[in-house]
Amino acid sequence: MQALVLEQAEGKTVAAIRQLSSDDLPAGSVTVDIDWSSLNYKDALAITGKGKIIRQFPMVPGIDFAGKVHHSEDPRFHSGQAVLLTGWGVGENHWGGLAEQARVDADWLVSMPEGLDGRKAMIVGTAGFTAMLCVMALEEGGITPESGEILVTGASGGVGSTAVALLSALGYHVVAVSGRQSTHDYLRQLGAKEILSRDAFSGEPRPLDKQRWAGAVDTAGDKVLANVLAQMHYSGVVAACGLAAGFALPTTVMPFILRNVRLQGVDSVSTPSARRAEAWKRVVKTLPASFYQQAALEISLAEAPSSAARLLNNEIQGRTLVKIR
């Protein structure tokens, strides 16, 4: 089997396609023949070595995959069954999806939801699944389409694009924040009603600003998130899932104690199984067919390292789908 393998040489991460045997795979109760994987921000950090994602080498990256069960020692899965996986540290501390096979714990697998196939599942991938969790966080905070405008930052990235598409399909008025002029047509096609420049959110944040947003999905962190918080309406909700701008949060308590703003963190890695199933069901029900045509660039396994560099250089829009076989 072919796999993208990350190794360390002189303190640097080196990525290369290698021929491995199934016997090399880590322990686990289910072996999966992988058809599709994808490139997420975290994969790009791991493959390029620009983020400390991987601590044990050699490592096969790929935090998500879709395929068919090759062999299962767990009664919940049978050979030939279509499955998908996101998170659980796969591709970080357990060999991941950028390979023809993976061996994983049965608890980490999701049976392919009705209405999805492997390709579509990986167009959505970890990024899109996280976007759905963000939408659910807004809903759980009481935000409805009638509440007002919803802001999505990092809007043309994987999480952002899917959040724009999901929220628009659910009837929300979506305003997108993007650092690139070239993404505006794409964002409008996904349903964004207005596009604001990233620069408008990159300045020194004030404790409180003019109130504009009922809800927000933030993939950026740092000053961007601080500026968003300062602009939230009374009782507004921010779902924060990312750090594309940085992991700091230079804010004050003012939005929380004077405007009743709620900051809801969103993690997709350890989402419990029942919530996972619910989120995938909602993804299938909500995303329009057009999303799957508009939002994905397809690459081969060999192209993953160069695409990872491009993703971190902010040269890719939407999702990057990796065809494994």
Interface with ligand NDP by CB under 6 A: which residues?
Answer: 40-42, 126-127, 130, 154-160, 178-180, 183, 198, 219-220, 224, 241-245, 266-269, 311, 314
- Strands (E) in 243-290, as ranges, are 262-265
Shortest Cβ distance from residue 24 to ligand NDP (Å)?
Answer: 28
Cβ proximity to ligand NDP: between 25 and 244 the closer is: 244
Amino acid residing at 92: E
Please state whether beta strands 64-72 and 30-39 pair in parallel, antiparallel, or not at all (unpaired). Answer: antiparallel
Closest CA to 299 of 74, 69, 123: 123
Shortest Cβ distance from residue 117 to ligand NDP (Å)?
Answer: 21
- 91 sits in the region (left: phi over 0; alpha: psi -120 to 50; else beta) called left
Q: Which long-range contacts (CB under 8 A, 24 or more apart) does 208-211 make?
A: 208/254, 208/255, 208/258, 208/259, 211/236, 211/259
Cβ proximity to ligand NDP: between 33 and 43 the closer is: 43
Q: Which residue is nearest to ligand NDP (CB)?
A: 157
Q: Are 157 and 163 in contact (CB under 8 A)?
A: no
Cβ proximity to ligand NDP: between 138 and 266 the closer is: 266
Shortest Cβ distance from residue 322 to ligand NDP (Å)?
Answer: 13
Cβ proximity to ligand NDP: between 40 and 251 the closer is: 40
Shortest Cβ distance from residue 249 to ligand NDP (Å)?
Answer: 13
Cβ proximity to ligand NDP: between 22 and 293 the closer is: 293
Which H/E stretch holds residue 286? helix 273-286
Shortest Cβ distance from residue 232 to ligand NDP (Å)?
Answer: 18
